[in-house]
Amino acid sequence: MRFIHISLLLGTALFSAQSMAHDYTAGDLHIEHPWSRALPPVAPTGAAYLTIENRGQHSDRLLAADTPIAGHAELHEHVHEDGLMKMQQINDIEIAPGERVEFTPGGHHIMLFDLQQPLVAGHSYPLTLTFEQAGEVAIEVVVSADDANHAHAGDGHHPAPEHHDHHH
């Protein structure tokens, strides 16, 4: 009986976590809606997206990210070079006073390498962000099946993999 009770509690906790907007505040920094795209279980890498708003008078920098579900995480950006779009690692990202920095597909993102568990829609995982001023901030990243509920996501240039192979 105890087992059933625990799983009911977990189910309720998962449901209520999803139905609430999940925002985090660390000092003057406001972190909005951290999410990842669901991936096939074999995917070795994933990415986390979020928005960081600096509501204070002083600049801060995001220095690092870390999660137990990945071997390591890196801050990345997309850059245009010789007409090509490529990803590259960056050491930190400045969040100036009054500025919003958006991590989106095709933009800044947190790259997760050597995933230890699949990114399954409806699940979430912990992520720790390390800031120069605000210090460490623990957040929960929700895994979504698609980008439909992410206002700034998806610029139409990245169709989902399953859209490629149906017309042979």
Tell me the C-alpha distance between 47 and 70, whole Å: 10
Q: How is the chain split into domains, by residue range?
A: 23-147
> Given this structure, which CATH class describes domain 23-147?
mainly beta
CA dist list (Å): 34 to 81, 85, 105, 116, 162: 28, 24, 12, 19, 24
pLDDT at 32: 96
Higher pLDDT, 87 or 17: 87
What's residue 21's pLDDT?
56
State residue 88's pLDDT score: 92
Res 3: pLDDT: 44
pLDDT digits (tens, 9 = 90+) for 92-138: 999 999 999 999 998 999 999 999 999 999 999 999 999 999 999 99
Query: For residue range 27-81, what is the model confidence (pLDDT) as tens digits?
Result: 999 999 999 999 998 999 999 999 999 999 999 999 999 999 999 999 999 888 8
CB–CB of 52/100 below 8 Å? Answer: yes
Q: How far apart are CA 75 and CA 65, in angstroms?
A: 7
What does the pLDDT average to over 146-152? 52
Q: Quick one: which H or E segment has residue 134?
A: none
Distance (Å, whole) CA 73 – CA 87: 14
Residues in the chain: 168
Residue 168 has pLDDT above 70, yes or no: no
The total of other beta-carbon atoms located within 10 Å of residue 73's CB is 22
Given a cut of 90, whether residue 22 has pLDDT beyond it is no
Burial of 82 per CB tally in 10 Å (0-12, 13-18, 19+)? exposed
